[in-house]
Chains A and B, each alone.
Chain A
Amino acid sequence: MSIVSGLLLIALAGVILNVLFYKSKIVQKYVSLLLFAVLAYLSFNMYKQVGSHFSIPFLIAGQSIGFTITWLNYYFALMITGITLLTAIFSLKYMEGKEGIVHYYTVLFMKTFGMLGVILSSDLITFFVFWEIMSWSTFSLMSTGGKEAPKSALKYFIFAVTASMILMVGVVLSYSLFGSFDFAVIHSKIDSLSLPMTGFLLSIFIVSFSIESAVFPMHSWLPEGYSNTFTTFTAYLTGISTRIGIYGIILFLFGIFGIQTVDKLVILGKINFRYIFGVFAALTMIIPTFTALYQHDAKKLIAWHSVGQGGYMLIGLASANALGISGGILHIINYLTYQVLIVFAIASVEYRTGTTNLNKLGGLIKKMPVSYLALLFGIIGLAGLPPMNGFVSKWFIYKALIMSGYPFLAIAAVIGTIGTILSVYKLIHNMFLGQLPERYNDIKEVSFSMQLPMWILMIVVFGLGVYPGLAMGLIAKIQTSLGLAVVPYSLHGIASGSGQLNMLVITALFMGGLAVAWIIYLLGSRRKHVNQYNNYAGGHFLNKDVAYNFNYEFYAAIEHVIDPYRKKIIERTERGIIGLVDAVSEYVRRIYTGMINTYAIYILTAFVITIIFLKELI
């Protein structure tokens, strides 16, 4: 039995077990955990069978369908099963005594099943079927936990159905054009297609995947959908679910269409298909990142970043040189680790305090130092500062953009990074720093089973920052398998070429700098820790009744600057679209008068038209 079938069957077994034994706590917790561990183990061992093919034992439209293992699959399968395992460990304590726990594990398995199927599939039919399973389970994930969840899940549903429909058009169109569903066959025949048709087909697929990966104009389902559900689901969804769309884009852009074919789609001079794609990616970076500044809810803030960070991956891919593509692919795993780490930290705070409202928290560093440290590692990664992993992939992307002559895409990436720094500081400040409200005086750090995933991720975030070569080895294999050039990497960064990067030197120097600073620090007299109420307040006496904190409207001044643009451009566009849709649907609604006579006339008219047309055809 190949690993592929093992993976899929175990995920399916998880679904069935959780449905059958819906009353058993042991199945829900420990058996599920065991199965997730087995999944992770199996997907780790997949590298032994790279290149192997597994066919489903029946034919569709006379064609054999099935799954293959490639390096790209392996990369994604590792991330999916790894993050599922960590989420399951975290959920042990987090979900204790919460409503909807039966549903929780069932959909978690279902979603894993769907995602594994999507990434492993080797033809369009399997891809589409698993894509649907995945979308439906995303919908069920989103619709649990909290009052607002069903409403926002419905919003996702509309987007997902649209995406699926577009994808189906693409599947049918490719079958009619190539006579095959198989990716390899399509890839071999792609050159015979005329350019406009190639552009049309590629756009269909890219648009469909862009909806799933929340690219700028199609992103509005994500923030609410992700933030209204359980926080562990938020971690799972932001971490990997959105990135399956990116998997689709990598697969179709480089695997199926091939970069040479895509580069033929020139519109005007330097402006080609990739550039337009890059512009949308740039907008995806800037606009959601600055929208995150306005959020008052930790989950919502981080969900907006989940949109924004997607832009970095896409812009890396759009640059289409070796460095940029490897940066984009590397950013997926880096993003996954720090984003999930951040959401776990938020989940820990929510678990202890019961809220994620940024205006109500504060000063938790004294009570929950491990969660604070987790969030700190996460935000340094998210902001892309050395020595954490986010920096490495962002460095690749900037360098690629500058060197291939896209300065304005590069500055968009910089603007995105600065917006990120601003909003993540607000996140960590309002939750963990500032004054500790009296009502949180008795809370404790979360238990070990919740700390464990955070510690693991902290090590990964830091480890991948210092040793990017660990992931780069795999990425080089992916690039080779997709027929792309490979970056000359080393264990610590970029080995050669103009301007190399050595993360070990940077980290070691930083540690050295800290050591020197520590020596200077020790030269002074001993420090004395004081109470938070022993604080300068212009001579005012502070105590627990005096709220002496600044977290509400944290960035009022810059909101003041951005607001006009935001209101003018975005809100008016949105209002325009809403108005248009309203007007159109108003006319469409009038068709349904509710009287049988009208319907009879419709049927008659349709009948007459059909006859006329048929007559002409015959």
Chain B
Amino acid sequence: MEEKLTQRSVWEKISNKLSKRSLWMLHYCTGCGAIELPPTMTARFDMERFGISPMVTPRQADILLITGYLSVKTLKRVVLTYEQMQAPKYVVGFGSCTINGGMYWNSYSTMKCLDQYIPVETYIAGCMPRPEAIIASFNDLIAKIDRGEANSWKDYYKNYDFYKANQDRTFEGPIETYNDIKADAAMFNIK
């Protein structure tokens, strides 16, 4: 199965090579990590030289950068935003909070593990991760796209039941995002 994912046609290879040069990022900054982003974007680290630039709406973005912890309330918004993004899309978890809850590990209202709810492409560990770490992780992501391995967005369609169950359990009931994931999966031929 794994090999099959990485087997690509020539066109896919070319398109991956070109697509990796342009990644638009939507940053979801309810946590404390937002302060690390301005230096990443501006003169000191300048992520635009990799073709990564900030965007404002999920329709335009390729990367969803989740900075810091997520509470139940904000996680709902993240799921909505993620579903509104257009495939292929990549989630980057930023900071320890998205990995294991970080310093809020014992809080009643925060999420411990982001990839229980939406598929995550890359994590950046640390509290806080410095701009260098962000740039490094983006470079990892670019390399992954180049190799054709950045396919986590397909997991959401493949294992939607798993994600949906986790979401419903946490939100204590279904949320209405007006997105028909099953129909989309059929459209993409993902089973």
- Chain A–chain B contact at Cβ < 8 A: yes
Tell me the A residues contacting B by CB distance below 8 Å. Answer: 526, 528, 530-531, 533-534, 536, 539-543
Does the CB pair B84–A534 fall under 8 Å? yes
- Complex CA distance for A542 and B83, rounded to whole angstroms: 14
A77 to chain B, nearest CB (A): 55
5 new A-B contacts, CB < 8 A, other than A533-B178, A534-B178, A539-B77, are A530-B179, A534-B84, A536-B58, A536-B59, A541-B76
Taking the closest CB of chain A, its distance from the CB of B85, in whole angstroms, is 10
CA A531 to CA B83, docked complex, whole Å = 13
Does B1 have its Cβ within 8 Å of any Cβ on chain A? no
Contact at A536–B84, with CB atoms within 8 Å?
Answer: yes
Query: Which residues of chain B from 157 to 191 have a CB within 8 Å of any chain A CB?
Result: 175-179, 184, 187
Complex Cα–Cα for A533 and B178 (A)? 7
Q: When the two chains form the complex, which single residue of A536, A539, A541 contacts B176, counting CB atoms closer than 8 Å? A: A541
Ranked 4 nearest A-B pairs via Cβ? A539-B77, A534-B178, A531-B178, A536-B57
Smallest beta-carbon distance A599→chain B, Å: 79
Decide if B175 touches A541 in the complex (CB within 8 Å). yes
User: From residue B11, how far is it (CB to closest CB) to chain A in Å?
Assistant: 13
Which of under 10, 10 to 19, 20 to 34, or 35 or more describes the interface residues of B?
A: 10 to 19
B80 touches A (CB below 8 Å): yes
Total A-B pairs, Cβ < 8 A: 27
- Nearest neighbor of A536 in chain B, beta-carbon distance: B57
B54 CB to closest chain A CB (Å) equals 15
Residues of B with C-beta under 8 A to A539: 77-78, 80-81
Measured CB to CB, the nearest residue on chain A to B58 is A536
> Contact at B179–A534, with CB atoms within 8 Å?
yes
Contact A528 B178 (CB under 8 A): no
Is B177's CB under 8 angstroms from A541's CB?
yes
> Which residues of chain B come closer than 8 Å to A540, judged between CB atoms?
77
What are 13 pairs between A and B in contact, CB < 8 Å?
A530-B178, A531-B178, A534-B84, A534-B179, A536-B58, A536-B59, A536-B84, A539-B80, A539-B81, A540-B77, A541-B176, A541-B177, A543-B176
Could you say which residues of chain A place their CB within 8 Å of the CB of B80?
A: 539, 541
Nearest residue, chain A, Cβ from B178: A534
Q: Which residues of B from 79 to 97 have beta carbons under 8 Å from A?
A: 80-81, 84
Shortest C-beta distance, A528 to chain B (Å), equals 7
User: Separation in Å of the B9 CB from the closest CB of chain A?
Assistant: 16
Q: What 1/0 mask marks residues of chain B from 89 to 124 whose CB sits below 8 Å from any chain A CB?
A: 000000000000000000000000000000000000
Nearest CB on A from B60, distance (A): 10
CA distance A534 to B178 in the complex (A): 5
Cα distance A541–B80 when bound, in Å? 8
CB-CB < 8 A to A534: which residues of B? 84, 177-179
**Could you say which residues of chain A place their CB within 8 Å of the CB of B59?**
536
Shortest Cβ gap from B184 to chain A (Å): 8
B81, B176, B178, B187 — most chain A CB neighbours (10 Å): B178
Residue of A nearest to B28 (CB): A539
- Interface pair A526/B58, CB less than 8 Å apart: no
